[in-house]
Amino acid sequence: MRIKASLGSKVFDGINMGLLILFALVTIIPFIYVIAGSFATQKELLTKGFILFPTEFSLDAYRYIFSTGTLMRSLGVTIYITVVGTLINIFMTCLMAYPLARRDMDFRKPVMLMIIFTMLFSGGMIPTFLVVKQLGMIDTYWSLLVPGAISAFNLIIIKNFFQQLPESLEESAKIDGCNDLMIFIKIVLPLSMPAIATFSLFYAVGHWNTFFNAILYINDNNKWPIQVLLRQIVILASGGIGDSTAMESEYVTPPEQAVKMAVIVMSTLPILLVYPFLQKHFAKGVLLGSVKG
Amino acid sequence: MANMQNTLARKNSVSSAGKESTLLKRLVKNRWLYFMLLPGLLYFIIFKYWPMYGVLIAFKDFQPFLGFLESPFVGLKHFNRLFFESNFMTLFMNTLILALYNIIFFFPLPIIISLMLNELRVEFLKRSIQTLIYIPHFMSWVVVVGIAYIFLTTEGGLVNELIDSLGGEKINFLLSNDWFRPLVTFEVIWKETGWGTIIFLAALAGVDPQLYEAAKIDGANRMRQIWHITLPAIKSTIVILLILRLGSFLDTGFEQIFLMLNAMNRDVGEVFDTYVYSVGISQGQYSFSTAVGLFKSIIGLILVLLSNYLAKKFGEEGIY
Amino acid sequence: MKKSIVKTAVAVSAVSLFLSACGGNANPNPTTNSGTNTSKNNNTSTSTPVTTQDETPFKLSLMLPTYNPEQMPESSSVLKLLEEKTNTDLSVTWVPSTTYADKLSATVASGELPQALVALTPKASYIVNAVRSGMFWEIGPYLQDYPNLSRMSDIVLNNISIDGKVYGIYRERDLARFGLMMRQDWLDNLQLEEPTNLDELYNVLKEFTYSDPDKNGKDDTIGLAVGMQGSVIAGFKDILVYHGGPNEWEVQDGQLIPAHMTDAYMDTMLFYKKLYDENIINQDFAVVQDGRAVINKGTAGVWIDNMVDGKGIQDNIQKITAEAKITLVNRIAGPAGDRTRAGNGYLGMFMIPKTSVKTEEELKRILTYLDRVSEEDIQNLMKYGVEGSHYTVDGGNYSANEDAKVLAELNDSNQFMVLQDKVVSYGTELEKLAVDKFNDNVEIAIPNPAAGFISETEIEKGTEISKIIADATVKFIMGSIDEEQWDKEVEKWLQSGGSKIMEEFNAEYAKLAQ
């Protein structure tokens, strides 16, 4: 029986859509400015300030960025650590989250408390650095992949998602003779795709933004990920703010404003393109049909 | 119904030790679970607990050269400095108020927006808006504050030019005590709301559409559907996120505030994170910054324990 | 689908294991093996037992800050030439300037230091403490044995000394580089002369604001571009000195007093206040992070800072107004005549840790390297590169090679340099003018009398409480506090540790006077 949408429902839809479009516009406009700026000339950016479309089109900024091999190389590094890193993250996090989601596991509470504690209290930069050093990870990519393998925050939320799955599913799987690991792989994971997609995205973005850890743990500048390059450009182009040694700083010609913007576009675009692919995992009714009576 | 019975049965078997299964038996029965737990446990022990002694740096005068053991022990010296020598009350109030603004004005927005997105019937629109609104999350604060400057400065800033042309008097947004907090909060809303909807949308994906059909038949309008079906589906996620947010209650985020601070708004703008930076990191004084961090963490811990307790009282699953 | 995910994961893990095994060995001295045992070294040092005529190049590890998005490639011909001339095998760890302090602290904590590192802020507490714990070699006594190192300026050596001893080789920068960068074309349009004193300066600034110097019929110009540098107003310290004020500290009646407690400071604030009230400076100066953006727009007449910026500014403005020209003014006479502010004279210093350099012999070898770097040929090599490859000089006109890849070989090359006094001056007219002005400045530069002293309170709290004064200065100029309230802020500074700093500096000063 097809229910006809009422008038009230249509009005609701209209207002809803209007507000959302407005919100989307407000968030997107500054980014349009950045994209436009990356194709603009220094002159236009200085005189006009804010533009949505460059009147004088210029590819200089992009040419500048691509002129050396550094951008592509660091992009390669970043892609590598993002892909491998995220796989490690999801594997480790989900694997640990499932036992903690099971109510029949004994040491749930103490382990949870232990994890929460690490969220609030941390040894700090130098002790962690020393641990990484003692494990021989300095100047290797492992230092960027392993120390951040599990985020307590993500772990807790994923565990929460696992907990919301109906236990009857696990029951019936057990009756069929599955052990816990198989239940995890064959039932829990597939049904948790929205959560896994979400946290893959979160972890991936985290890796994509790796900056400080790279400088700390990696001495060989050939192994630096892209954010090191980008931050240098942005900070240099902004007159050196954020430079704590700016008291008597070295004189460098600041890159043009357009370069700053091109850098932002370059560093944002790839990760932006990933999300739409993950969107299909957010489809509704994933659980439909799995619970039979 | 069967579900509940199963759960009850299971709970009974767990709590009545000695009746049905001993600890050892349960350990064996759940051995796979413990195997799965192991790698993560190792991770936390190695990378979180092994360096944990660093917390004690707060009670020493840490010199990187001397190392942890050789650095002199100074007891509560850094805490004294924090509480009595700095402008502690001002810092605390500034941090507190910003945190409150954040929880009251920012926290609900991703929820509301995700609910609104969930209601969109036009799939294409829904997907594109979703993709667009989280773009600001990727812009660094340096860029965001730079854009704020372009819009809000009195010297040719867009907003002020608009006000001027409408006959009003220009407002010095960036150099004012009054506008600092609303501005900072607005910037966070702009930057993070879209990103924040992702988690809720993931939670909403698990809602059975048939429930909506049933509700419509019962005569529920859109708002009631949201209230009775959609919201409950994400309720536990909201609670968890709120508790976690309270854990980092006094963390305001350093970079944004630092960039927005100037002589005219420092009275309301200086927070713990920026204070620590000006005193600590740039001079390499790790002990002091660790002490301040410790203080913030303790407050956060108290809030987490408290809110978790309250959540359980209201029938929710806490985080432990 | 799951199976394929698993397979992919296994494959990727295998690949990553393989990759990290290959690229992961932390080899502190990679590739560059310039096995060329060169004989080109002219070893001019006589009394040191260690010579550079070794057969094998000396392996030297350095930690240097980088100010460029891209670092000097290991294959750089400039680097190779440097190694050849100094008979070394260099391995450099580059660290972005913005995170230098943290990286250095972590490296210090780990105990694995390079043989020579640059300490950008030698008076930072962790450096001072490390020095006092005996981590670094005291280099002072060795300097006289080296022809170039012995030429280092006593003033600057005093500036970098800790507890009266020299622990590092400073990296020379021009002593006094500050001045005004002014729109020559505007002066011409309004038929004005370059100002030579404060009154004339005020006049020029006013004319720049109100007399339409860019002749476009619009009232859209200001005299002076102002921005913030951290919490300090750009150019303020220079105007202060022009008003007869001190460079940070001043000796009055045998006592050191800080700049903000002098009369000249108040005069300077009133000067800026007048400019602010009369709209001669940009009204939003307190939020402008980089004042150069203001003058680059082409609507401001003067920018006060390091005159080396002049060329960059001119280039930028010319993109908007082709006839724009920048001239440099470094002498503005005030009540005390022509004065200018001396900078520190250095940017960071090379320090040599005892943990990685265990013998005196090795130390001397490193000093030989640093001495050799200060020879004229290497000074110019690191500044300009190789003639014919990186630049050409055609009848006195210098032009740099435009190829980005070639230029990249010079990235951060000046980080290697120690002395810069033998650098040939090429460059455009403006750049040559800048060099002339720098030299002229040296005649009238006034130093900071407290630069060599260490005050514990200053290290601990200096930055924190200086904000009180910096903020009050801005507020006074913008009119939100008056003189009485200003005095209260100074009082607050004194109470919060300022008076202790004065005490400690004065104690050091007294010791010196004996």
Q: What ipTM is given for this predicted complex?
A: 0.86
pLDDT at A1 exceeding the cut of 60 = no
B233 touches chain C (CB under 8 A): no
For B37, the token pair is: 């737990």
Query: What per-residue confidence (pLDDT) applies to B154?
Result: 87
Record: contact B63-C126, CB cut-off 8 A: yes
Question: To the nearest whole angstrom, how far is the Cα of A168 from the nearest Cα of chain C?
Answer: 23
Query: What per-residue confidence (pLDDT) applies to C189?
Result: 93
pLDDT at B202 exceeding the cut of 60 = yes
Q: How many CA atoms does the CB half-sphere of A94 hold within 13 Å? A: 26
Other CB atoms within a 10 A radius of the CB of residue C114 amount to 21
Q: Which residue has the higher pLDDT, C183 or B120?
A: C183
B72 touches chain C (CB under 8 A): no
Query: What per-residue confidence (pLDDT) applies to B16?
Result: 47
H or E stretch at A54: none
Q: Which residue has the higher pLDDT, B184 or A177?
A: B184
State the DSSP code for A169. H
Distances (CA, A) of C441 to A164, B80, C117, C162, C433: 74, 47, 31, 27, 12
Q: What is the pLDDT of residues C319-362, one digit of tens each?
A: 888 889 999 999 999 999 999 998 888 888 999 999 899 999 99
H or E stretch at C392: strand C391-394
Question: To the nearest whole angstrom, how far is the Cα of C53 from the nearest Cα of chain B?
Answer: 35
H or E stretch at C117: strand C116-119
Distances (CA, A) of C498 to B284, C208, C233, C446, C484: 21, 40, 20, 23, 19
Which residues from chain A sit within 8 angstroms of residue B144, using beta carbons?
30
A136 touches chain C (CB under 8 A): yes
Instruction: Report how far residue B276's alpha carbon sits from residue B86's, in angstroms, rounded to the nearest whole number.
Output: 10
State the best of B57, B183, B283, B285 to mutate against chain C, taking most chain C CBs within 10 Å.
B283
For C191, the token pair is: 């038929």
Of B174, B279, B285, the CB nearest to C284: B174
Give Cβ neighbours of residue B182 (< 8 Å, ≥ 6 apart): B101
Which residues from chain B sit within 8 angstroms of residue A122, using beta carbons?
48, 51-52, 54-55, 293
Question: To the nearest whole angstrom, how far is the Cα of C373 from the nearest Cα of chain B?
Answer: 29
* CA C351 centroid distance within chain: 17
Cβ atoms of C201 and C243 closer than 8 Å: no
Q: What is the pLDDT of residues B174-189, one digit of tens each?
A: 998 999 999 999 999 9
Question: To the nearest whole angstrom, how far is the Cα of A17 from the nearest Cα of chain C?
Answer: 36
Residue C412: name the closest of C159, C58, C62, C57 by CA.
Answer: C62
Query: What per-residue confidence (pLDDT) applies to C427?
Result: 73
Query: What per-residue confidence (pLDDT) applies to A269?
Result: 81
Q: What is the pLDDT of residues A233-273, one digit of tens each?
A: 777 666 554 333 333 445 556 667 788 788 878 877 877 78
Q: Give contacts of C 121-140 with A, CB under 8 A.
A: 121
pLDDT at B268 exceeding the cut of 80 = yes
Q: Where is average pLDDT lowest: A28-37, A61-70, B22-31, B247-256? A: A61-70
SS (H, E, C) chain B: CHHHHHHHHHHHHHHCCCCCCCHHHHHHHCHHHHHHHHHHHHHHHHHHHHHHHHHHHHHECCCCCCHHHHCCECCCHHHHHHHHHCCHHHHHHHHHHHHHHHHHHHCHHHHHHHHHHHHCCCHHHHHHHHHHHCHHHHCCHHHHHHHHHHHHCCCCCHHHHHHHHCCCCCCCCCCCHHHHHHHHHHHHHHHHHHHHHHHHHHHHCCCCHHHHHHHHHCCCCHHHHHHHHHHHHHHHHHHHHHHHHHHCCCCCCHHHHHHHCCCCCHHHHCCHHHHHHHHCHHHCCHHHHHHHHHHHHHHHHHHHHHHHHHHHHCCCCCCC
Distances (CA, A) of B43 to A140, A201, B207: 18, 22, 34
Pairing of strands C228-229, C222-224: unpaired
Query: What per-residue confidence (pLDDT) applies to C46?
Result: 39
Pairing of strands C178-183, C326-329: antiparallel
Q: How confident is residue B124, by pLDDT bands cut at 50, 70 and 90?
A: confident
Per DSSP, the residues of C216-241 read SSS---EEE---EETTEETTHHHHHH
Partners of chain A (3+ Cβ pairs below 8 A): B, C
What residues pair up with A40 in beta bridges, in sequence order? A57
pLDDT at B281 exceeding the cut of 90 = no
Which residues from chain A sit within 8 angstroms of residue C414, using beta carbons?
250
Buried b (16+ CB within 10 A) or exposed e, B265-295: bbebbbbbbbbbbbbbbbbbbbbbbbbbbbb
Residue C121: name the closest of C176, C65, C39 by CA.
Answer: C65
Which residues from chain B sit within 8 angstroms of residue C130, using beta carbons?
63-65
Torsion of CA C114, C118, C124, C126, to 10 degrees: 0
Q: Which residue has the higher pLDDT, A156 or A51?
A: A156
Task: State the pTM of this model.
Answer: 0.83
Q: Nearest residue of A to residue B37 by CA position?
A: A96
The SS3 call for residue A278 is helix
B176 touches chain C (CB under 8 A): no
For C443, the token pair is: 């005649």
Residue B156: name the closest of C222, A180, C112 by CA.
Answer: C222
The pLDDT of B282-303, averaged and rounded, is: 84
The SS3 call for residue C324 is coil
Which residues from chain C sit within 8 angstroms of residue B85, using beta carbons?
496
Record: contact A180-B33, CB cut-off 8 A: yes
Residue C383: name the closest of C410, C418, C347 by CA.
Answer: C410
- Which backbone phi and psi does C337 adopt, to 5 degrees? 80, -155
Instruction: Report how far residue A137's alpha carbon sits from residue A218's, in angstroms, rounded to the nearest whole number.
Output: 9
In one letter, which amino acid is C431? E
Q: Give contacts of A 166-225 with C, CB under 8 A.
A: 185-186, 189-190, 212, 215-216, 219-221, 223
Query: What per-residue confidence (pLDDT) applies to B18?
Result: 47
For C100, the token pair is: 């230098």
Instruction: Report how far residue A4's alpha carbon sits from residue C77's, in angstroms, rounded to the nearest whole number.
Output: 77
- Residue B209 sits at the vertex; the CA angle it makes with B206 and B212, to the nearest 5 degrees, is 125
Q: Which residue has the higher pLDDT, C294 or A281?
A: C294
State the best of A46, A81, A256 to mutate against chain C, taking most chain C CBs within 10 Å.
A46
Q: What is the pLDDT of residues A201-228, one digit of tens each?
A: 899 988 988 888 999 999 998 999 988 8
Residue B277: name the closest of A230, A243, C95 by CA.
Answer: A243
Mean pLDDT of all residues belonging to chain B? 85
Q: How many CA atoms does the CB half-sphere of C405 hold within 13 Å? A: 5
